[in-house]
Structure formats: C-alpha cells, structure tokens
Structure 1
Amino acid sequence: MTEQKLMLHLRWLLRALALVLAPFMFQLTPWVPLMALLLGIWRYWLAYRQQPLPGMKILAPLTIVGALGILASHGGIFGRDAGVALLVLMAALKTMETRTRRDITLAVFLGYFLCVCVFLFTQSILVAGYIVVPLVMLTATLVSLSQPGGGLSGGAKLKLAGLMLMQAVPVMLVLFVLFPRVPGPLWGLPEDMARGQTGLSEDMSPGSISELSKSDAVAFRAVFKGQVPESSKLYWRGPVFWHYDGRTWRAGQPPKPAGETHLQPLTAPMEYTVTLEPHNKSWLFFLDLPTHWQTAGQLTADYQVLSREPVRQRLRYDAASTLHYLERSQLDATTRHRALQLPTVGNPKTRQLAAQWKAESPTPQAIIQRALQMYRDGFTYTLNPPQLGASPIDGFLFDTKRGFCEHFAGSFVFLMRAAGIPARVVTGYQGGQSNPMSDYLIVRQSDAHAWAEVWLQDEGWIRIDPTAAVAPQRVERGIAAAIPATEPLPALARPELTWIKRFNLGWDAVNNGWNQWVLGYNDQRQAAFLSKLAGTKVDWGDMARWLVILLSLVVAAIAGLMLRNMPRQTDPVQRQWLRFVEKLARVGIVPKPAEGPKDFAARAALQLPGKQAAIEHITRLYLQSRYGGRKGLADLHRRVREFQPR
C-alpha cells in the first residue's frame, strides 16, 4: 500500500474512531479517552509527515503505562469500566502499527465493537441515534479500502456506507423481534452499575431527604388503568424504619416475610404499571398498600415489596393497590418493643412533652391530634432547614421549628413512642407529575417523602402524615406549591419555567416510548407480543422457526435486488482489460474520467518507464481484439497474466 493511499484510508479510520470514542469522554476516567485522542493525533501527524511508525521500544512502555493506569484507577482490569477502558487504549495503540489493509480492517472492527460497548453505559435514544454516525464512518472506511484507487468521492463513500447499513435494517428488526431473550441482563456488572445512581437511602437523618428532593432525576413512571387518583392519595411506599439511635432512623434488622396479612380493602384495587429506574437497592415502589404484583418480589411484614436482586437495570412491573383499607394486625411482644424503641438518653424536652400529653389525653387518638395541632401552630415547611445539635428532636420542636418531611415524620414518631404509642417511619415518594402528552405519571426524586405510621388497637397500622398538617399543599399539589417563593427549587418544579417543562415533558414522552417498546422488550413482553400475533402461546422453538423463515425471506429479497442490479457479464476482451487496469490501480495508476485506453496507457508508461513496452503491447492487443476480431485474445490473456507493475 502506497503512502498516499495509506493516508487516505487512515484519515477515514481516525475520524471514525474519534466519533466512536466521543461518548466515552463522559463515561470513562478522563485520562483514558484523552490518551487515546493524543495517540490518534500522533498517528495522523506521522502519516502526514511520512515519518516511520514507533517500534516496540516505544509502544511496549506505552502499553504498560496504560495498563498500570487502568489498574490504579479501577483496581483491576475486570468489570465494565476497566474492561472498556482497556479496549479503548488497545484500539488507539493499534492505530500506531497500521501499515497494511489488514491492519486498518482490524482497527475498523475494533471500532464496531466499541460502538456496542457504548450501550454498556447508557441505552438512551440520543446515544442510539448518535452511534449511527460512527457506524457510517467505519463502514465508509471499509468502502475506501475496497476502492484501490480511491475512485469514489468522500460523499459517495458515505452514501454507499449508509445504503449498506440501511440494507441491514430488515435483518436487525427480525432479530430484535424474534431472537429469544434471556431473563436478566446480558452482562452482570454490579460493581460498576452501583455508581452515580440517586435515590432513597437505607437510613434517614435530618437533611437526607431534603437534599434528595433538589434533584429532578426520574425515580419511576406509572401508567394507570383508568383514572389517575388525586395527588393526596399517591403515597408510593418504600423503606420502613424502626430503629432510632438519637440522630438516624434505620430498619434495625432485616425485614421479615409477610406471612399471613390482615389487610382488609375497603375499595376496589387500583391497577397500574410501574417502570422503575435503576437505583441499586432491592426495594420496589407500590401505592400504599399493595395487593398484587407481577414481578419477582417478596412482600415483607412492613408491607414493603423487595426484589430478589438489587435493581441495576430498568424494571417494568404490573401492580394493584388498595388506597382505602383497614390493617387489623396484632402486635406481638417483639414487634411492640421495636415500635416503641428509643435511645435511653437525649431529647428530654420532647420526652417530657409526650409524658404530659399521655397524662392529659384519654386516648391515643387525642395524643395524635395534639401533635398534629402543634405542627399546624408555628412550624414551617422548608427545603433548607437549619442545622440541629446533639438533641435534634428537641432542637426542631422547640427551637428552629423549620424542617422538611424527615423532620416532621421523625419527630412525630419519637413523640408517639415517648407517649407509649407504637409507631414507625415510612419513606418513599408522594405525588407525581402527570404527562398529558402520553398519559402517564412521572415521579421524580424531588417527590421523595417521609411519613409516619402508628398502631392503634382494633385499627392496626394507620398512616399519619405530619407534613400534611403543616403544608397540606405539599401532598395536594406537590413540592413547588409548599416551598416558600424565596427558596430555590429543582428546575422542573419552578412555576415560571413553563416552556422548559413543556419541552421536558415532550422529551420524556419520547424517552418513555423508547423505554417501553425498545429497552423494555424483555422475554415476557416478547412472549406476550408473539403469542398475541400468532393467536396461540409460543415457545422458544416457535421463535426459532419464525426467525429462520423470516431471515431467509429477508436475505432472499436482498439477494434478489442485488442480482437484479448487478452489471451483465463483460465479454472476454473487456474482462482482460479490466484485470490489466486493476493491476495498475494497485500502484496508484487509475483511469481518469473520460480517459480512453490509449491516453491511459501513455500516462501509465510515463509513470512506469520500465514497463513501457509491456503496457503499449497489451494496449495494442486489447484494441485489436476489441475492434478487429479476437485473434489476439489468447496472447492478450497471457500478457495480462504475466504483467507485474512492480
């Protein structure tokens, strides 16, 4: 391969690889794509200046440094981040030894594999659309390699590459619909998937939920079968906390399976479908209280549903909940002890107040009402509560009187326990934003919430939301309606940014469709879709038969189109001339547009003076055989076979 042709193909390759590596700038440790970029620039400069490529004395240390850097950054070479980082560096280093057509072809296929690796980090519709660009560029590089003389223009190469990829779309669609899906992710990479995900935590302390509520990130989406309940009834149940250490609420011990429940629904169940974003925890979210679900989850004694594995990929499940109910469970001694647990010391003012209420109030219900009335009189709901001291409950109830939902729920449960009423903290989400463009509910991290549950004789566990006593608009219209206008809100909760919210809702509707019909096309949805299409239940054998039949039809259709568009067989004389032209093209001599055989031969003879006689003789034989009969065809065939331009 001449330096001129190598430079041509290398430009296509380096451009394509640069486009492939662009998404990794936001996913990998920054030095990895930066090093790959510098290696690409160096390789282009060497080719442009026609400088020799570096030998193993330089490449070997670079490889070792890159591998050691990955080990230092990731603690190993296994896992998603480390493995992809290593592959990125190897692809960049491979360009430093590209000398032949085979080297460039190998680098192109490394680029194809890196395109697949992009989807290990994100499967958004934006990335899926973007990745088409480097795919076209990589394919155009192969097109350039298949044109020995570089006869096609850059635009023609891109057009041909795009056409080739379009021809693969029918095959892709058949494979997408029919290829059997295996339950669970294709790659299990829990140590990497745990990073950078927001959501409720395994404990609750002052300020934890208020910080989370500043995020616009989507927690999950819900589609209801029928009318969406009003916002004040949308309590999405999550982790339940029993143990308090003086500052932080925790579960205290692993949740127990539910066993026999004592739930008595008072209304018909509300059916809905949840699409849960990955949060790397085991809990699933259901409306209070769940009665039915179609997913691998287990109901606990706290009426929380837990997945068998942490949710590391988007999860879709159907569910049903009753919004009005009686929960007539009885407390055993162990559960009662957990529901009354308090630290032995701390928050003396709150303990004294609870003891006073207990002495003055005839029933637990009266104590509850006194607590709620206290919150209504002089307390403020705020997203930026002040710091609390060593006795946070006392500090909140008697000093600052400014807090977020975790302050109200935590202090209420403390008061109830100090007054002898079993109580616990429940966290989750409250409310949600309706998307009128696609008729579903968006629940964001800014909807994170905490409330209380108290146990009453003959009534069981009942929900009490002290935040609703202070700021009823929070549960009726969302966080934006409850927070004072002087405090900063998450961008999508600000009432003045209506155009941003409209755009976001439209874009979220597009993403939700992508999530539901592309990313959410799992084994269950595939079986349901194909069974509906066939009118009977299908299994893997049926899918395999359909796959073979449809792929055969698609391939046959494409082959038929290609055969119809193929040029007719050239005559023997023309075939020998084309072989002769192809040999000259290998050394960079190609016919110009509208250039006849004589002119082409004359130009070739000037560039290859040592082959002038052979070139002129072959040209003369070609013209005689072409226009004066075929007596010299055998001689032409022999001369072309023996001709070697170098």
Structure 2
Amino acid sequence: MALDNASRRWALLAMAACLLPLLLQLPGQVGAAIAGLAVVVAALSWRRPMPGWLRFLLALAVVALVLKMSRFSIGRDTGCALLAAMLAIKPSETAALRDARSLVGFALFGPFATFLLDQGPASMGLGLIGVTLALLALRRFADAEADLPASAGSAWRELLSVWRLIAIGLPLALAAFWLFPRIGSPLWGVPERALARPGLSERMSPGEWIDLLADDAPALRVHFFGPMPPAEQMYWRGPVLWDFDGRTWTQPQWLRGLPAAETRRSGAAWDYELEFEPTDRRQLVALELPNAAPEGARLSGDYGLYAERVLSTVTRWRMRSTPPAAFEPELKALLRQAALRLPQGYNPRTVALARQWRAEAGSNDAAIVQRALDWIRKDFAYTLDTPLLGRHSVDEFLFDQRAGFCEHFSSSFVVLMRAAGIPARVVTGYVGGYRNPFGDYWVVRRMDAHAWAEVWLPQRGWVRVDPTAAVAPERIYDTLEDRAAGDFAGLRQVLDAGDWLRRGWNELVLGFDATRQQRMLQPLGIDKLDAGDLIALFAALAALALGWMVWLIAHSERERDPLLRAWRRLGARYARFGLQREPHEPALDWAERVFRRRPQEGALRTLAQRFAESRYAVADAAGRRELIRALRAHRPASLRGNDR
C-alpha cells in the first residue's frame, strides 16, 4: 500500500522523537552531523525513495564518517552513533506503508540505546515521548491500512488509548525493576565506552584541564551527617601524581599496591555520604583524609581512593574523614627518592633558583616553602587564557609568563620544591562546592577540579600547600552560590531545584542496586531478602500484574462505549440459556437465530435492528440514549418479571 503524506509525516515525527534523546548523548559534533543528515535525507526522499546504489554509497559514507569522528575507537558510544546514523538514512527507502511501519519499529531502538549512555530523568522523559509518538504512528498506520479516516477531534482520545497500552505493561515492568534478582556486577556483554566522560585522570599536562574547568556539570553530591568542615577546607582528594617527564605528571601504578601510610589524626571528624556521577574510571575522591576505604573500594599508599569496578553508573559511598595531625611522618627511602626525582636537562633556571634558596635557607625546609608562596602571591596572576608552554615549561611559567591556573601553579611549585631537595608531589581532585538549600546537600561540579601540592616536612610529614590559593583565593573559596548572587538569584533557585530533582531520581532509580534490593523491606522488619525470597515475591506480583493486564484487555477501549456495553450485557443474559452469540456472528443473524428457537423473542429482533442502525449508520443522540435504556431494560421472555 502506497504511503500517503499524512502517514509519512507521522513516521518521520516518530523517528525524530525517538532519535532525539540518543543524539543528545553523543558527542556534540557527531550528534549535530547525524541530525543534519536526517533532515537532508528526509527532504530528498519525500517524493520518491533514493536509488539503491545511492543508498549503498550513503551507508558506506555514514559508517566511515562515524568511525572517523570517533577516532576508530570501537565501544558503546560508537555503536550507538552508528545506530543513530542508520536511523537517519532509513527514510531514504520509505515508499510504502510497510516501510513506514518498519521505520518506526527500528526507531524504537533509539530510546533503548540512549539508556546505554545515560539513565537520567531527561533521557527517560524524552524516551517516553518518543515511544508514545511511535505507538500513535503505528495506530495511524493501522487506520490508514483499513481505509479509516481520522475523525476530527480524536487526537486526545488516541493519546489516551496509547497510554492505556503502556499502562497494561507498567505493573509488570515495575515488579521486574523492584523484585527481579539483580546481578551485583555489570553484564559482561556490555562494552565499555570508546570516549571517556570528563573527570579526574591519572595524568596532568599544562592546558589539558581547560575543558574540565569550563564544565559546570555535577561531579559529585555530598550529604553530611552532623558537623561539616568550612568550605575552605573541602579538599576532595583524588589521584596523587608523582612522576614528571618534563611536561606531564603521571601516577605510578606500583604505589596503588602499597598499604595506606601511617597517619596521626586530629580531633575533628566528618561523616558524610558521597554520590558520585559516572566517569567510566575507577578514581573516587574523599575529604582529606579518609579513615578507611568504604566497601567496594580500596586505599592506596598515598590515600588515593579507587573503586573495585568501573564507575559507569551513579554510585553512593558512606565515608568518614579526619584531618591529619601528622601524615606519614616517617618517609621511606624509596618514596623519598620518588618524591625528589626530576628529569635531566629540563628547566635549568628553576633548578638554579632552587639551589640558591637552599644555600640561603640551610636546612630550613619550611622557610623555602614560605619563600615560594610569598613570591607567587606577589608577582603571579590567575588566568585560564594561557599560551602553550614549550620544552622548559616550568621555567617559562615562573620567569616569563607568571600567569596561569592550578595546573601551572601546582606543577611548577612541586618542581621548584624537588629542585630544592624537598620531597613534593601533585595532588588532584576537587575543591569547595556549594550548598543546595532544597536538599541540604553540597554539589561539587567538574569546574571545581583542582590541583595542589604536598610537601614533606620533618615531624609533620606530608603538608598540603595550595599555591593557587595564594594568588587567587577567590578561585578556591568562593562558591557558585556566592558568584550567582544578585541578578541571577532567581535562576540559581531554578537550577538548585532541578539538581534536587535529579538527586531524587538518582536515589530512587539509579541508586537502586542489588544491595538496596535485598534490604528494601527493612522498614517492615525483614532484614534481608535472599534470591529465593525475591523470586517468590516477583512471581506473586507478576501474577497480579498479569491479572491486571488481562482485565484491561478484557475491558478494552470499545467497552467504554455505553451502547456496546449495554448490548454485551444483553447477550450475557441470553447466554444463560445457551443462546450466546458467537464471536463471528453479526447482531442481526444472532437475533434471527434466537427468534427461530424462541418465537416469543420478537422484541430482540427489533432491538438488534435498532442496534445495527445505531452502530453503522448515523443516529441522533436522543435516539441513542433511548436505545441504551431499552437494551438495559430488556430481558429474555422466560426472565421477564424476574429481578435478574
């Protein structure tokens, strides 16, 4: 059957709605290119399908383009991009109603593929819109195939009928979500992403953090139980970088296997729960310093915190941290050597200056640290607009440029300290955050990423030194809430409310893992549900859900017609005498058959005639209401006078 323009519009609308959430999760350039391709293909193939040879070349070009834009990295996001590209060129072969139905069916893979990349509420909402429009389109196709014109003003009724279809399966889906036993580890068949999400890394080079510092997406949310540290002490410790090759700082893998260093704690302690956004890495952060690693994570020798599994979904971690009174006061020779190592032939001016300071300060390491901070505070500036540094990057920054951001300050400070004979290392993580008043929790964004230094001093051990805070304390200690005050206060409240809703979604949906599933009935006194209990409960609720499905199907949309409902009740009365109507039997034929067996049922023939005329011909509203009353009042001859 040829495809009419109205059906084509419905097919393209449904495809676009299903494709949109997937495109929003792809890298910006890839998503924009595929969206433009979809518009061009739909316009060129509106009147007639593209030739087969052109579709073949287009498919090859699209595959090559996607692979090139993803740098030929095969992963979850590359596969989703290929799916989106194939959906974008699918309209090029849409000519018949069957093709449109196929296009909409394949488009439904779009929302499901989106959930491989993101499970947020926006993706869910857009996915539901896409599924709703797809079901509406399929319904329109069925009407067009039956040559039934769309009645005026029926859009709302059709929408309700589609939601009714969704409601049929919703209870079974919820039962499966809550009670079907969950696997504690990710499915082995789900590939990793080819393009990593923004987040902390095990390496740092000057200039690499520009994109991260401009990203205001949440990195983590923190809820404190009891006292909380002041904002200027909220240093969220991440990977610690020891090795320097002249340009790039990296983290030695062998340090991860060492036990956590000896630490003497101070009196303060912070109890908090950290909600970590997905990064597709294993690095976690914690307030300095975590007392112990939470379940599912481990501490390295330098108090870096690492999850046992890749952080591909939202995760929650309950932790306690206490500021150190002395952090590794005895430094082993191997670690001292690693904390003093510098590449040969780099940054000669920095090395010369450090040696001069050492000669002038003698053995007073703290004096050298303070002298460096005083110099930075006096002569340096904070800026994100920095040129690319050359081979002697630290020399260029300290003596020529004297302006940069945390990467430059921390890297140059550690090199200067090492050249002066003071063990030092770079620590990366986040700093600060702002309190969301709606949920009384703190939000730390990716733009709060930070790098600072740690120097080792006798009797004190590792001591945090933040040279960026020395030159630009407002960059470290001002919260986004402070910066958004004034004219943008109203917008800040809207954003806070949106983030609070997102946190609730994470809590109720994304954070519902195997552990929470086993403990979901603790408020009822059931401490833990094993797999057998979950299966039994799931079977019980699934049976109820199937009963709900059967009931809704039995009371389908046509049952809401009062005329049809009265007619079927009339048929049920005759069924008690073995005179039920067969499913294939028209109303008039059934009434005639009953009359032949019971001549006293002449009134039934009259009612059947009026029913057929009302159903299949034009009938006024008053006549329809009178017929409904007559059908409800009629009884078989042997039942007349009976209350039934």
The verdict on a shared fold, with TM-score over 0.5 as the criterion, is: yes
Measured after TM superposition, the shift of residue 433 of structure 1 is 1.3
Residue 17 and residue 379 in structure 1: after superposition, are their counterparts in 2 closer, same or farther (change >3 A)? Answer: closer
1:563-596 Cα deviation digits (max 9, x unpaired)? 467542646499643699xxxxxxxxxxxx9993
1:620 is aligned to none
Q: Is the 8 A contact 2:434 2:480 kept in 1?
A: no
1:12-57 Cα deviation digits (max 9, x unpaired)? 44432232223344435555555555555566635xxxxxx78xxx
Measured after TM superposition, the shift of residue 538 of structure 1 is 0.4
Secondary structure of residue in 2 paired with 1:291: coil
Residue 371 and residue 43 in structure 1: after superposition, are their counterparts in 2 closer, same or farther (change >3 A)? Answer: closer
- Matched residue type, 2:63: I
Whole-Å Cα distance in 2 between the matches of residues 170 and 598 of structure 1?
34
1:495-531 Cα deviation digits (max 9, x unpaired)? 7533332222221111121122212212122223244
Whole-Å Cα distance in 1 between the matches of residues 345 and 44 of structure 2?
68
1:433-472 Cα deviation digits (max 9, x unpaired)? 1111111111112212111111223322221222333334
- Matched residue type, 2:133: M
Residue 499 and residue 185 in structure 1: after superposition, are their counterparts in 2 closer, same or farther (change >3 A)? Answer: farther
Secondary structure of residue in 1 paired with 2:291: strand
Q: Is the 8 A contact 1:432 1:444 kept in 2?
A: yes
Residue 577 and residue 127 in structure 1: after superposition, are their counterparts in 2 closer, same or farther (change >3 A)? Answer: same
Measured after TM superposition, the shift of residue 286 of structure 1 is 1.0
1:445 is aligned to 446
1:596 and 2:613 aligned: yes
1:40-83 Cα deviation digits (max 9, x unpaired)? 5566635xxxxxx78xxx44762464156315532599744336
1:50 is aligned to none
1:330-362 Cα deviation digits (max 9, x unpaired)? 333322111111233343443333223323324
Secondary structure of residue in 2 paired with 1:515: helix
1:169-218 Cα deviation digits (max 9, x unpaired)? 333322221122223445765553524x2233333333344553232122
Measured after TM superposition, the shift of residue 93 of structure 1 is 4.0
1:363 and 2:364 aligned: yes
2:66 is aligned to 73
2:586 is aligned to 577
1:229 is aligned to 229
1:358-383 Cα deviation digits (max 9, x unpaired)? 23324222222222233333333333
Q: Is the 8 A contact 1:267 1:324 kept in 2?
A: no
Measured after TM superposition, the shift of residue 161 of structure 1 is 1.0
Identical positions, percent: 33
- Matched residue type, 2:420: A
- Matched residue type, 1:85: L
1:16 and 2:9 aligned: no
Secondary structure of residue in 2 paired with 1:294: coil
1:89 is aligned to 86
1:59-112 Cα deviation digits (max 9, x unpaired)? 4762464156315532599744336634763696489467577x6665554343
Q: Is the 8 A contact 1:342 1:414 kept in 2?
A: yes
1:271 is aligned to 271
TM-score of the pair, normalised by structure 1? 0.77
1:45 and 2:47 aligned: yes
1:342 is aligned to 342
- Matched residue type, 1:506: A
Whole-Å Cα distance in 1 between the matches of residues 406 and 356 of structure 2?
25
- Matched residue type, 1:525: R
Residue 496 and residue 344 in structure 1: after superposition, are their counterparts in 2 closer, same or farther (change >3 A)? Answer: farther
Secondary structure of residue in 2 paired with 1:150: coil
- Matched residue type, 1:45: R
1:540 and 2:531 aligned: yes
1:497 is aligned to 488
Q: Is the 8 A contact 2:255 2:301 kept in 1?
A: yes
1:595-617 Cα deviation digits (max 9, x unpaired)? 9389969xxxxxxxxxxxxxxxx
Count of residues paired in the alignment: 570
- Matched residue type, 1:81: T
What pairs up with 1:302-321 in 2 under 5 angstroms?
302-321=302-321
- Matched residue type, 1:441: W
Whole-Å Cα distance in 2 between the matches of residues 256 and 118 of structure 1?
35
2:431 is aligned to 430
1:469 and 2:470 aligned: yes
Whole-Å Cα distance in 1 between the matches of residues 211 and 45 of structure 2?
47
Residue 36 and residue 449 in structure 1: after superposition, are their counterparts in 2 closer, same or farther (change >3 A)? Answer: closer
Measured after TM superposition, the shift of residue 312 of structure 1 is 3.2
2:300 is aligned to 300
Q: Is the 8 A contact 2:242 2:338 kept in 1?
A: yes
Secondary structure of residue in 1 paired with 2:256: coil
2:603 is aligned to none
Residue 85 and residue 264 in structure 1: after superposition, are their counterparts in 2 closer, same or farther (change >3 A)? Answer: same
Whole-Å Cα distance in 2 between the matches of residues 309 and 574 of structure 1?
58
Q: Is the 8 A contact 2:172 2:542 kept in 1?
A: yes
1:641 is aligned to none
1:488 is aligned to none
- Matched residue type, 2:542: L
Secondary structure of residue in 1 paired with 2:236: strand
Residue 150 and residue 227 in structure 1: after superposition, are their counterparts in 2 closer, same or farther (change >3 A)? Answer: farther
Whole-Å Cα distance in 2 between the matches of residues 382 and 22 of structure 1?
37
Q: Is the 8 A contact 1:257 1:298 kept in 2?
A: no
1:513 and 2:509 aligned: no
1:403 is aligned to 404
- Matched residue type, 1:448: A
Whole-Å Cα distance in 2 between the matches of residues 219 and 472 of structure 1?
22
Whole-Å Cα distance in 2 between the matches of residues 598 and 289 of structure 1?
77
Measured after TM superposition, the shift of residue 426 of structure 1 is 0.9
1:205 is aligned to 205
Residue 329 and residue 495 in structure 1: after superposition, are their counterparts in 2 closer, same or farther (change >3 A)? Answer: farther
What pairs up with 1:133-282 in 2 under 5 angstroms?
133-144=129-140, 148=146, 150=148, 153=151, 154-155=154-155, 156-186=157-187, 192-195=193-196, 197-209=197-209, 212-252=212-252, 254-259=254-259, 261-267=261-267, 269-282=269-282
Whole-Å Cα distance in 2 between the matches of residues 77 and 167 of structure 1?
38
- Matched residue type, 1:368: V
Residue 579 and residue 518 in structure 1: after superposition, are their counterparts in 2 closer, same or farther (change >3 A)? Answer: farther
Secondary structure of residue in 1 paired with 2:272: strand
Measured after TM superposition, the shift of residue 238 of structure 1 is 1.3
Measured after TM superposition, the shift of residue 273 of structure 1 is 1.8
Q: Is the 8 A contact 1:274 1:316 kept in 2?
A: yes
Measured after TM superposition, the shift of residue 221 of structure 1 is 1.5
1:617 is aligned to none
The runs of 5 or more residues in structure 2 that have no matched partner are: 560-564, 572-579, 590-609, 619-635, 637-644
My pick for the range that moved more, 27-36 or 544-553, is: 27-36
Residue 556 and residue 233 in structure 1: after superposition, are their counterparts in 2 closer, same or farther (change >3 A)? Answer: same
Secondary structure of residue in 1 paired with 2:200: coil
Whole-Å Cα distance in 2 between the matches of residues 117 and 390 of structure 1?
45
Residue 115 and residue 211 in structure 1: after superposition, are their counterparts in 2 closer, same or farther (change >3 A)? Answer: closer
Q: Is the 8 A contact 1:293 1:318 kept in 2?
A: no
Measured after TM superposition, the shift of residue 294 of structure 1 is 2.8
Whole-Å Cα distance in 2 between the matches of residues 43 and 211 of structure 1?
40
Residue 65 and residue 273 in structure 1: after superposition, are their counterparts in 2 closer, same or farther (change >3 A)? Answer: same
- CA RMSD in angstroms comes to 3.9
My pick for the range that moved more, 211-220 or 546-555, is: 211-220
Whole-Å Cα distance in 2 between the matches of residues 579 and 120 of structure 1?
55
Q: Is the 8 A contact 1:70 1:77 kept in 2?
A: no
Whole-Å Cα distance in 2 between the matches of residues 355 and 480 of structure 1?
44
Measured after TM superposition, the shift of residue 424 of structure 1 is 0.9
Measured after TM superposition, the shift of residue 552 of structure 1 is 1.4
- Matched residue type, 1:124: G
My pick for the range that moved more, 336-345 or 65-74, is: 65-74
1:123 and 2:119 aligned: yes
Whole-Å Cα distance in 2 between the matches of residues 140 and 128 of structure 1?
18
